[in-house]
Amino acid sequence: MNRINSQQLLARYQLSSFNNASVFGALPNPAIYWLLDHGVIREVKKGETLFVPGEPGNSFHVILAGSVDYYKYHDSRFAYIRKFNSGEQIGFVSMIALHDRVGRAEACEESITLEIDTDVYHDFHISHPLEFGILMMNLAREMARTLRSTNNIVVEQSLKSDTGHR
């Protein structure tokens, strides 16, 4: 993992290219720049991990470029859950629920991520209260989409094993 700063990132990508990220949707450029400037930006090689089970869930990662696979750890085994793509975040659930990581986030290709820890999250709330509300809506919307997708999987599995009971 290689840490870079916001100026190095913006030498390669225009700030406006992050406006389409679901996490940053409807955020003005100064708010996105603030997050880039105060968070931790990392270049991650394929196979490198962002976090592993048992680590404190005190941050989340916005995938600025590339993609990350998530593997849930349960009963002493890892199970692939899904791929998180550019513009999405991973780890917010652990942070907001105040629990340790329960899985492994691993880059499935060269990627660039922005880590926003609880201190940066808090400071963003203080310095950009209106934009913090927008960020929260974006994060909640992404969680809701994930929950709906998960519910659909449960329904599909239930219908496959349905024995006629309604």
Q: Where are the domains of the chain?
A: 2-160
CATH 2.30.40.10 fits 2-160, yes or no: no
Q: Answer yes or no: are the C-beta atoms of 40 and 114 closer than 8 Å.
A: yes
Side chain identity, residue 60: F
Written as six digits, the tokens of 84 are 């998180």
pLDDT digits (tens, 9 = 90+) for 13-25: 999 999 889 999 9
Over residues 90-117, the mean pLDDT reads 97
pLDDT tier for residue 55 given thresholds of 50, 70 and 90:
very high
**Whole-prediction pTM:** 0.93
